[in-house]
């Protein structure tokens, strides 16, 4: 399972997102590798799930993989709630 956190540059807010996702994974008892990427590279980088903001999710919708849109980058609860269904779908 590979999760890609995406923002404009690939090291600012996506880094924040990555740290929150890693905390959420720990809390949920799930394992996955989380890496950051900029919007340009994210179009081609291998991943199972993309986590990003609403503006970027429109640009990545043609990837054909689940995209999780986040409003508050530090809200672990929001990310847990949105990631859980993705994991459940994968495990089916």
Binding status of residue 39 toward other proteins by CB under 8 A: yes
Binding status of residue 19 toward other proteins by CB under 8 A: yes
Q: Which residues contact 49 (CB under 8 A, 6 or more apart)?
A: 1, 2, 3, 4, 32, 65, 66, 67, 68, 83, 86
Distance CA 3, CA 22 (A): 10
Asked whether the beta carbons of 48 and 15 are under 8 A apart, the reply is no
Binding status of residue 48 toward other proteins by CB under 8 A: no
Q: Looking up tokens 């540059």, which residue turns up?
A: 9
Binding status of residue 89 toward other proteins by CB under 8 A: no
Distance CA 23, CA 32 (A): 11
* Candidate segments 14-22, 24-32, 80-88, binder of other proteins by CB under 8 A: 14-22
* Active-site residue (options: 3, 4, 6, 7): 7
Q: Which of 1, 32, 38, 63 binds other proteins (CB under 8 A)?
A: 38
The footprint of other proteins (CB under 8 A) covers 7-13, 15-16, 18-20, 22, 35-36, 38-40, 53-56, 58-59, 70-75
């Amino acid at each position: 399972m590979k999760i890609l956190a995406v923002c404009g540059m690939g090291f600012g807010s996506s880094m924040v997102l990555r740290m929150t996702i890693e905390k959420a994974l720990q809390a949920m008892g799930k394992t996955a590798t989380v890496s950051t990427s900029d919007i340009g590279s994210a179009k081609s980088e291998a991943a199972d799930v993309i986590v990003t903001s609403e503006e970027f999710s429109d640009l990545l919708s043609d990837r054909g993989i689940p995209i999780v849109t986040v409003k508050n980058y530090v809200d672990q609860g929001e990310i847990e709630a949105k990631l859980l269904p993705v994991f459940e779908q994968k495990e089916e």
